[in-house]
Amino acid sequence: MSLENCWHPLSLSHSIEAGSSAGTRLLDRELVLWRDNNGVAHVWEDRCPHRGMKLSFGFVRGDHIACLYHGWQYNSGGHCQYIPAHPTLDVPKTIKVPVYPVHERGGMVWTTLLENPPLMPEDEEPVAPLRSLYLCCGFEAAVAALGASQLVPFASKTPADTTVSRMSDTLFAISCAQDRLLAGVQAISNTRTALHLSISGSAERYVGAGQNHFNDWALQWRHTVEQARIADERLDQDVA
Ligand code: FES
């Protein structure tokens, strides 16, 4: 599996509101994720073609984003359409930000580095947003930790038999009793990974108490993973 050739989650959908932008990283690339005022999400290279300012510092206005530095405005296709210092200029079409495909699935915003990506399947069930977690480890270590996870069902207080299944290269389902979490794994760099978690099921069942329950579980899971990593590093140092 090559991470260059698949879809990647960048954020929970509810974390990026209409009219806002956020910087993120994928496979060491700087990206800006922004949502226009119509609610459509966009993923671009996080670099203004003028002087390289991060576009994630810019302002979303309607269906375009304006760079913080000199105010160049880019439409939803990434083309510069207006330069404040030259208001009558017919801006050359070559002034363009690289844009990436976007899809929303499982309560997450996804992108891919492929120019002609395969379609993503649509959701079969509604989801409730949970949270994003950031781990100091690479993609494979995060996936291995996910595979060993034990969920605590919403209706119970003790861990129970848990099944972790791979739905795609970067999307996992953690199932236990009646509950199912979706975990999108974002490969930020060789040493940083993000997990974007949502709960598969009706909002009536999970919003509020269910989200709190699984939020506590997620924080405890991350603590356990980090403690295990620290113990491994100490062991490596002792052996060395
Ligand atoms: S750096 Fe973006 S407009 Fe100048």
10 Å CB burial of residue 165 (0-12, 13-18, 19+) is exposed
Q: Spell out the domain ranges in the chain.
A: 3-112, 127-239
Q: Tell me, what's the pLDDT at 2? A: 85
Q: Is the CB of 65 under 6 A from ligand 1?
A: no
Q: Give φ, ψ of 57 to 5 degrees.
A: -85, -5
Atom 1 in ligand 1: which residue has the minimum CA distance? Answer: 51
Residues 224-237: what's their mean pLDDT? 81
* Closest ligand 1 atom, residue 53 Cα: 1
- Helix residue ranges, H only, 72-208: 139-147, 203-206
Rounded distance from Cα 173 to ligand 1 centre (Å): 42
Give residue 158's pLDDT. 86
Question: What local confidence, expressed as pLDDT, does residue 124 receive?
Answer: 78
Architecture field, domain 127-239: 2-Layer Sandwich (3.30)
Four-way CATH pick for 3-112: 3.40.50.620, 2.102.10.10, 1.10.150.20, 3.50.50.60 = 2.102.10.10
Distance 6 CA to ligand 1 centre (A): 31
Average pLDDT over residues 139-152: 94
pTM of the model: 0.93
